Amino acid sequence: MTGPIVEHESAVLIIGAGPAGLVLGNLLLAAGVECVVVERRSRAYVEQRARAGFLASDTVRTLSRHGLADGLLAGGQTHDVCQFRTEQGEFTLKYGELGNREAHTVYPQQFLVRDLVAEYLRRGGELHFDTPVTGLGGLDGERPWLLAEAPDGTAHRFRGRYVAGCDGRQGVARTALPDGAVGRLRRGHGVSWLALLAEAPPSLGAVAYAVHERGFAGHMARTPSVTRYYLQCEPGTDPESWDEDRIWAELELRMRADRHGPLKRGPIVERAVVDLESDVLDPIQYGPLFLVGDAAALISPSAAKGANLAVMAAEVLARAFTADLRDGDPAPLARYSADCLPVIWRAQEFSHWMIGLLHAPPGDDEESRFLRALRTARLESLRTSRTHQDHFAENYVGLGPTPNHGESR
């Protein structure tokens, strides 16, 4: 950093320009609460970074309620069917007609981020891209502050009443927490996926989950010309060790293309290994610092809940900040963790259940054989039991009862 420090003042300092930070920022601006968003990556990066794309009905309603859904309502696709392929056969669940009779809206996260950035700037919001936060302090009594470095090397100090950490599991907000300040519950599920993005049309009209002796495979549409695939792989796998011929051959084998028809192929434009983990902090607030999204709780991608939990918590926190800063009511901020954590844990439970449904150890020892037999029984119950199907649909699409202590006025 060079030269003098440039000073800034705002009521709420938001670290991170992902869905959590941008929804929070937009809601605060709409309520007349000053805020600033600081993002370490460039605008081009966050608007192009491919992430989740399945938005729950509650999430769509939240975004619509706050004028943030024009893009997804115009360009999103409704998905209400999923398919399971097993050695015993194939079955389809039209979950839009089960449980609460709700569907997903498929809208790639980078498109949502692009929309949220544009709306935040249209509303007059202050947003600093390419500005990594290098220090966070003032959590134990003094006014909290962020120290950040602009692209030209200039140091900026942001002071505010509150800080919202929306910068992920590895972000500065988490690392700034004093040792022992919050509890942490973590589980490594011992499962890794090769996450793939193919420039290829979807091969099916549904999300497909394939259970195979060689491991799980998944098919998720993103756009009419882009499809997300997953392949279970060994932990520690180098994603570049899988060439395209091997990827497509393994996808077709596990998805039983010989029975159900070939996959529509195209260039693999992104590949990465994802280790399935769960990681929840409790509480998700410390003094003037409040954690949102993956910074508060990391969830495995097995049930597509991450972005939906982020939007839920952002709305709860925006309402709480507004109650305190505009209306002088600190009670909603005090119960932020208590409001959000039950919803987070319900999503974690369903994600954990999905991991057990889709994976089982491959060994020939007694425990592995037992767990594979349990998986077969779970799938058979899901295929045949309407009660099980309704429970699946309710949890697959939704987050369960979400906090609602009154809308922001």
> Is the peptide bond between 108 and the residue preceding it cis, with omega within 30 degrees of 0?
no
Sorted by sequence, the CB contacts under 8 Å of residue 364 that are 6+ apart come out as none
Q: Is 209 a catalytic residue?
A: yes
38 within 8 A of 44, measured Cβ to Cβ: no
Q: Is 95 a catalytic residue?
A: no
Q: Is 79 a catalytic residue?
A: yes
Q: What is the dihedral of CA 120, 121, 122, 124, to 10 degrees?
A: 100
Give the count of beta carbons closer than 10 Å to the beta carbon of residue 290: 29
Of 8, 79, 128, 219, the catalytic one is 79
Q: Is 104 a catalytic residue?
A: no
Read off the amino acid at residue 294. D
Q: Is the dihedral of CA 265, 270, 275, 277 positive or negative?
A: negative
314 within 8 A of 18, measured Cβ to Cβ: no
* Distance in angstroms (rounded) separating the CA atoms of residues 154 and 147: 11
- Report in angstroms the alpha-carbon separations of 63 from 23, 216, 314, 333: 8, 33, 11, 21
* Distance in angstroms (rounded) separating the CA atoms of residues 291 and 340: 11
Of 128, 219, 305, 359, the catalytic one is 305
* Distance in angstroms (rounded) separating the CA atoms of residues 128 and 106: 29
310 within 8 A of 19, measured Cβ to Cβ: yes
Of 144, 202, 301, 403, the catalytic one is 301
Q: Is 305 a catalytic residue?
A: yes
Best CA proximity match to 154, nearest among 128, 174, 124: 128
CA atoms within 13 A on the CB side of 252: 13
Q: Which residue has the tokens 């599920």?
A: 189
Of 120, 209, 229, 336, the catalytic one is 209
Of 104, 230, 396, 403, the catalytic one is 396
Backbone angles phi, psi at 231, to 5 degrees: -130, 125
Q: Which residues are catalytic?
A: 79, 209, 301, 305, 396
